[in-house]
Chains A and B, each alone.
Chain A
Amino acid sequence: MKHKLFSMQVNLDDFIPATEEEKAYMVQMRPSTTFFRDGVKRLVKNRVALVSFIVIVLITLSAILIPIFWPYGYEQMLGVTPGKPVDASYNNLSPLHYGATEQAKIDAGEKVFPHLFGTDSSGRDYFIRVIYGTRISLAVGFFASIIVLIIGILVGSIAGYIGGKVDLFIMRIVDIIYSLPDMLMVILLASVLRLTLDSALAGTPLEKIGSNIISLFIVFGLLYWVSMSRLIRGQILSLREQEYVLAAQATGAKSNWIIRKHLIPNCISVVIISTALQIPNAIFTESYLSFLGLGVNAPMPSLGSLAADALNGISSYAYRLVIPAIVISLIVLSLNLFGDGLRDAFDPKLNA
């Protein structure tokens, strides 16, 4: 068909559907990035945070997985066999040494699993005790932070959302709890609660966890939620006044939608960061209490109680103190550094 000048006829070739290749060409060169992906990218670029994260993952995995295949139990006294006198050669073994009966087996050509860190004064394999101690310390830190998180969110959002007299009343209580000397109160409550709880827990499934850990959780639930609730209240108060919330309201958004789509996503990074920074704090408190003898119930080990037990034989077995000391410091250090990295990566107000 001949094309005439000024004709109203359209060139149909211009209107055939684009092929897949052409479509692909028109698509943006780079996929658009979400807030979360952007943060992860920043986090991965931060070497210190990345290394700390790997250290945390390695420690956590070994605390969970190693007890599955390790041939010794944390409370198993190797020198004690039912019906025989206690074999004292198993007590206080140096690293990679063996007890008398094990030595006999090795001489006979059998293989015996080595005691990597030796044994303690009751003949218990020290490596597995350190692993269990790490497990307990991590679990306490994690659950204590979750408790703090839940109570903090609940109280903080109630205070921030309702406002008025309720807010004033809650914030005065928060002020007072905040100015209480926390460690002294923790020691006081922990030393008293364990006595009260022992009788109350007897026979329930909670008995196995031990009254000391439960009292530690109660203490955390009572005292440490205040800074979290302050944070959340502040967030809600400032977010409520933001212009995009007003804009959403003006376009007819329901408050349910505003909370889900605007308030929570903007709050969540701050909340996650301060929870991450709460975990080392809890681990620290637990080890401090265990060191004073107010922590986990024997024979359950925690890193703090292992260090405290090792204090007795410190002149001959210093490594028994150094090992849990290094593990605690490593956990606390890498959690702190990772928390800092998270804050740098996910707190958009700091990037500005």
Chain B
Amino acid sequence: MNSKNIMYIVKRILLALLTVWVVITITFFVMHAVPGGPFLGEKAMSEATIKALEAKYGMDKPLMTQYFTYLKDIVTRFDFGPSIKQRGRMVIDVIADGMQTSVKLGLIAAFIALITGVVLGAVAALRRNRIIDKVIMVITTAFVSMPSFIMGVLLLIAFVIRLKWLPGNGATAGGLVLPIITLSLYPMAYITRLTRSSMLDVLGQDYIRTAKAKGVSKWKIIFGHAMKNSLIPVITYFGPMIAYIVTGSIVVEQIFAVPGIGRFFVSSIINRDYPMIMGTTIILAILIVVMNMVSDILYKVVDPRIKLD
């Protein structure tokens, strides 16, 4: 690791921290610009009750004081305050509850997407312009153009309503199968295309020809030489993939009634539970920003040929 690499990593971490701070700030001020407070929806509440509630949640203090308190609580204790609509629960506990299901869902989907994507991409590259390559390319092109919610409802119609093979409720056993498939199809298709093009690029390199000329076996060339180098561009997709899975799970959890963080997020938007919206946005944003940072750093560190800016 040379000093240039370390400089890059430090710069990248600083940018990530700055981004998280910007997200927190935007979220805080945007939420406080909403006309009508969070208690507006509640029926038959007297002025005094609203005043008392605002005092309880610290909403009567000046805006900047509230902002710094909020920032301090997040940085020191990772505390996002109490939920307003779910009485007596802290935002972070509600999010942690939802995270258990969502993380499982997301990780399995990412894993499946990665494995199948790389395998399909490699097969397509090795069988270039044959039938199997063309079939794979047509299918992945279709998957890349289909929004996740459409994919989800089409699977729901096919497997839950028509065929009745799987339950449509994500809380039951086997209920996570369809959400996982829905979330993994788009990244899978993307990784397939990425792997295919970078594999084709690598297979055309001189050192592959040299290896062939030396008489190295076909499989050793594929796994020992070609695969390793053609997977480098796939690393860059880790960050965007996590971002896709996070935002995709917001609708997918809605469609399949999965009790995850995405569903809490949508219901907190509908209920105007400000601390919940802010907490969820910030935590998901941190997840995405950190994954983007990790994949950027990995990419530059793994391949010494890549110039650092």
**Which residues of A pack against B, CB within 8 Å?**
175-176, 179-181, 183-185, 187-189, 191-192, 195-196, 199, 280, 284, 287-288, 291-294, 304, 307, 311, 314-315, 318, 321-322, 325, 328-329, 332-333, 336-337
Contacts and interface: CB of A to CB of B under 8 A. Distances in A.
Given A180-B22, A180-B23, A181-B288, A307 B250 contact: no
B271 to A, nearest CB: 11
A234 to B, nearest CB: 13
Interface string B65-80: 0000000000000000
Nearest to B292: A179
A291 B27 CA distance: 22
A333 B154 contact: no
A221 B203 CA distance: 42
Contacts of B153: 307, 311, 314, 321, 325
Contacts of B250: 187, 292
Nearest to A334: B145
Contact of A195 (B27, B35, B161): B35
B19 A180 contact: yes
Contacts of B50: none
B27 A188 contact: yes
B241 to A, nearest CB: 13
Nearest to A285: B147
Looking at chain A's contact residues, the main secondary structure is: helix
Contact of B145 (A280, A288, A292, A314): A280
Given A176-B18, A179-B292, A181-B288, A187 B269 contact: yes
Interface in B132-161: 141-142, 144-147, 149-150, 153-154, 156-157, 161
Given A314-B157, A329-B150, A181 B23 contact: yes
A102 to B, nearest CB: 29
B278 to A, nearest CB: 9
A307 to B, nearest CB: 7
A336 B145 CA distance: 8
B284 A179 contact: no
B157 A307 contact: no
Contacts of B119: none
B142 A284 contact: no
Given A191-B269, A195-B36, A185 B154 contact: no
A306 to B, nearest CB: 11
Nearest to A333: B145
A69 B106 CA distance: 48
B17 to A, nearest CB: 11
Interface string B275-309: 00100010011001100100000000000000000
Question: Which 3 A-B residue pairs are closest in the complex by CB-CB distance?
Answer: A333-B145, A183-B247, A181-B288
A179 B161 CA distance: 40
B131 interface: no
Given A188-B31, A311-B255, A325-B154, 14 more contacts: A179-B15, A179-B19, A179-B289, A179-B292, A187-B281, A189-B30, A192-B33, A196-B33, A196-B35, A199-B35, A284-B147, A292-B254, A294-B269, A333-B145
A188 B149 contact: no
B39 to A, nearest CB: 15
B150 A328 contact: yes
Contact of A192 (B31, B142, B254): B31
A333 B16 CA distance: 33
B251 interface: yes
B247 A184 contact: yes
A183 B285 CA distance: 10
Nearest to A293: B270
A302 B289 CA distance: 31
A287 B150 CA distance: 10
B136 to A, nearest CB: 16
B266 interface: yes
B157 to A, nearest CB: 5
A181 B161 contact: no
B34 interface: yes
B243 interface: yes
B144 A181 contact: no
A287 B152 CA distance: 14
Contacts of B19: 176, 179-180
B52 interface: no
A184 B147 contact: no
17 contacts: A179-B15, A180-B19, A180-B23, A183-B246, A184-B247, A184-B284, A191-B277, A280-B145, A288-B149, A288-B251, A291-B147, A307-B149, A314-B156, A318-B157, A321-B157, A329-B145, A333-B141
A336 B162 CA distance: 31
Contacts of B31: 188, 192
B292 A188 contact: no
B154 A322 contact: yes
B145 A192 contact: no
B171 interface: no
